[in-house]
Amino acid sequence: MTGKRLWSWFAVALGGLYFLLPLAGMVDFSMRMKRGEYSFEAYRIVLADPQFQQTLGYSVLLALLTIVLGILLVVPTAYFVRLRLPGLRPIIEFITLLPLVIPPIVIVFGYIRIYNTSSVLPLTGTWWGTNLLLLFGYATLALPYMYRSVDTGLRTIDIASLTEAAQSLGAGWARILAVVILPNVFVSVLSGAFLTLAIVIGEYVFAALLNVNSFGPYMVWMGGNRAYEPSALAVVAFAITWACMGLIQIVTRFSRFSTVRR
């Protein structure tokens, strides 16, 4: 028994070394901007950079819009499929898995071919169109995570009874979805939302190929032109990812108390 325990500690320690060293390296490098001493100089420069504020702000806003669009697309669909159209379930599940199968670079390549300036729907020709296309692209990437978390949430509540109760009180479909269903699955929606946030904020390929100057392309530009600032950016990005995952943990723990055990 002790031998097994020793081996387990050894495996975990070795893994810990591999996973912590890059984090240590990243933090260490980000603080070495001033020769001979540790300082937060690189962070000060990055945080004061108007480009940083602008691109990060843009990416956060886009991530929030992606989450809203994702909820609008996925919640009614998952609800109607569960309640009325169970035959569609395999098809919907297959479609929501596709963004994990098709590499994102291929999807954005398709956008560029279909929605270019010489097409029927020339979205890439205008500023608004390009941003809209990027938003739709991110909503597509988020589909697997959003659908799965919403569907899991719907499984824990009795949507048939809730719907009948709401209908008997005279609620219409839009009202049922917005006032009855969404609040009940909100906690599981949130965990999909935070995952979406983590994915969208640093995304590079979609933004770069659609020529949108968001946080991902900004980081790559920094990587090519500066020495210490990229590490500071990596620390910031890691903190954001960590915060998103931490929020998912908190939210799911919270949900264990808020939903009825059946």
Partner 1 sequence: MTTSAALLPAALGPRQFLNWLGVAPFFLFATLFLILPTLNIVIGAFRNPQGQVTLDNLGKLLSPSIRSAFWISIELSLLTAALGCLFGFFIAAAITLGDLPRWLRNGILTFSGVASNFAGVPLAFAFIATLGRLGFVTMLLRNWFGINLYGSGFSIVSFLGLVLTYLYFQIPLMVLIITPALEGLRREWREAAESLGASGAQYWRMVALPVLWPSLLGTLALLFANAFGAVATAIALTGSSLSIAPIVLFAQIRGDVLNDPHLGYAIAFGMILLTAIANAIYIFLRMRAERWVK
Nearer to partner 1, 13 or 61 (CB): 13
Nearer to partner 1, 74 or 193 (CB): 74
First-to-last C-alpha distance (Å) of the chain? 38
CB 217 within 8 Å of CB 205: no
Quote the tokens at residue 18: 């591999």
Nearer to partner 1, 187 or 229 (CB): 229
Nearest distance from residue 246's CB to partner 1, in Å?
8
Would you tell me how many other CB atoms lie within 10 Å of the CB of residue 1? 5
Nearer to partner 1, 36 or 224 (CB): 224
Nearest distance from residue 5's CB to partner 1, in Å?
5
Nearer to partner 1, 94 or 260 (CB): 94
Nearest distance from residue 106's CB to partner 1, in Å?
4
DSSP 62-123: HHHHHHHHHHHHHHHHHHHHHHT-GGGHHHHHHHHHHHHHS-HHHHHHHHHHHSSTTSSS-G
Nearer to partner 1, 64 or 247 (CB): 247
Gap between the Cα atoms of 43 and 162, Å rounded: 51
For residue 3, give the DSSP letter: H
Nearer to partner 1, 86 or 122 (CB): 86
181's enclosing H/E stretch is: none
Nearest distance from residue 167's CB to partner 1, in Å?
12
Instruction: Count Cβ atoms within 10 A of the Cβ of residue 111 and give its class: 0-12 exposed, 13-18 middle, 19 or more buried.
Output: buried
b/e code 121-138 from CB counts within 10 Å (16+ = b): eebbeeeebbbebbbebb
Nearest distance from residue 113's CB to partner 1, in Å?
5
Measured over the CA atoms of residue 143, residue 146, residue 152 and residue 157, the dihedral's sign is negative
Nearest distance from residue 74's CB to partner 1, in Å?
7
Nearest distance from residue 208's CB to partner 1, in Å?
8
